[in-house]
């Protein structure tokens, strides 16, 4: 039996967690620039961290530095993708096979698209919205689907705000020109929320 899982996005609400609502013992998924937190909102132990492909190399270097310094302990790494080909340089000019790139450079990193191949309904859902609407799920919802495929049953979502108070993150986006305080065009709030509803209400999704 897996422990309860807390999936943490990087929305502003991460600073206002009500710990009384949490289970006593849980595992944690984090994503992207989670390490900009000003204190350990969910502890140092991370079951899985999810990084975007276009900045994967720099994120992996940062993660290694954090682990070497004892700031975090990270058990598993995932690359957040909704397709089997993606850009890894940030210029969106060179599109590479995801599985081949990871095998050559980061063989211990699992990509979410390959993970979804173990769940036919989730894979069909992701492929349909990408092909029909050119939309990809945000990191928080990719973490949710990954958790479902990995067999988690008791899942809590935190810091996934959908702009409830304001777009942006719990950290200061001005720290880098690469950060944005708006949802990228490839994402869609309704697609994200629809997917969460499917996980909540469709038994075959949670199997």
DSSP 96-146: EEHHHHHHHH-TTEEEHHHHHTT-HHHHHHHHHHHHHH-----HHHHHHHH
* CA distance to 60, 69, 140, 145, 193, per residue, from 99 (Å): 17, 30, 21, 19, 28
Given pLDDT bands bounded at 50, 70 and 90, which one contains residue 176?
Answer: low
HSE-up of residue 8 (Cα within 13 Å, Cβ side): 31
Residue 179 has pLDDT above 70, yes or no: no
Q: Tell me what the mean pLDDT of segment 99-113 comes to.
A: 97
Place of tokens 């937190």: 37
Range among 16-25, 63-72, 133-142, 194-203 rated most confident: 63-72
Instruction: Please tell me the distance from the alpha carbon of residue 83 to that of residue 94, in angstroms, as a whole number.
Output: 15
Instruction: Please tell me the distance from the alpha carbon of residue 159 to that of residue 157, in angstroms, as a whole number.
Output: 7
Given pLDDT bands bounded at 50, 70 and 90, which one contains residue 94?
Answer: confident
The CA radius of gyration of the chain, in Å to the nearest whole number, is 16
Instruction: Please tell me the distance from the alpha carbon of residue 31 to that of residue 80, in angstroms, as a whole number.
Output: 9
**Is the pLDDT higher at 172 or at 103?**
103
The superfamily CATH assigns to domain 5-206 is Alpha-2,3-sialyltransferase (3.90.1480.10)
pLDDT, tens digit, 9 for 90 and up, residues 75-87: 999 999 999 999 8
Gap between the terminal Cα atoms of the chain: 15
Residue 181 has pLDDT above 60, yes or no: no
Identify the burial level of 7 via C-beta atoms within 10 angstroms of its C-beta, where 0-12 means exposed, 13-18 middle and 19 or more buried. buried
Q: Tell me what the mean pLDDT of segment 143-170 comes to.
A: 83
H helix intervals, the chain: 56-68, 98-105, 112-116, 120-133, 139-149, 189-201, 203-206
Which segment of 153-162, 166-175, 197-206 scores lowest on mean pLDDT? 166-175
Secondary structure letter of residue 83 according to DSSP? S
Mean pLDDT of the chain: 89
Given pLDDT bands bounded at 50, 70 and 90, which one contains residue 102?
Answer: very high
| Contact between residue 84 and residue 113 where contact means Cβ atoms under 8 Å apart | yes
Global pTM reads 0.89
Q: Tell me what the mean pLDDT of segment 100-124 comes to.
A: 96
């Amino acid at each position: 039996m897996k422990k309860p899982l807390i999936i943490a996005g990087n929305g502003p609400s991460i600073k206002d967690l009500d710990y009384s609502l949490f289970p006593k013992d849980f595992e944690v998924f984090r994503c992207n620039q989670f390490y900009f937190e000003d204190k350990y909102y969910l502890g140092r132990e991370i079951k899985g961290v999810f990084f975007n492909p276009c900045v994967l190399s720099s994120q992996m270097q940062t993660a290694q530095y954090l682990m070497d310094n004892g700031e975090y302990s990270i058990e598993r790494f995932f690359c957040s993708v909704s397709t089997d080909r993606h850009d890894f340089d940030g210029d969106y000019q060179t599109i590479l096979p995801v599985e081949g790139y990871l095998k050559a450079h980061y063989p211990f990193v699992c990509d979410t698209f390959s993970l979804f191949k173990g769940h036919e309904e989730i894979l069909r859902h992701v492929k349909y919205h990408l092909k029909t609407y050119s939309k990809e799920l945000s990191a928080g919802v990719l973490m949710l689907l990954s958790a479902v495929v990995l067999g988690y049953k008791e899942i809590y979502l935190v810091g996934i705000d959908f702009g409830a108070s304001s777009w942006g993150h719990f950290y200061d986006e001005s720290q880098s020109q690469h950060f944005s305080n708006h949802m990228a065009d490839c994402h869609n709030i309704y697609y994200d929320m629809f997917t969460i509803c499917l996980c909540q209400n469709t038994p075959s999704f949670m199997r």
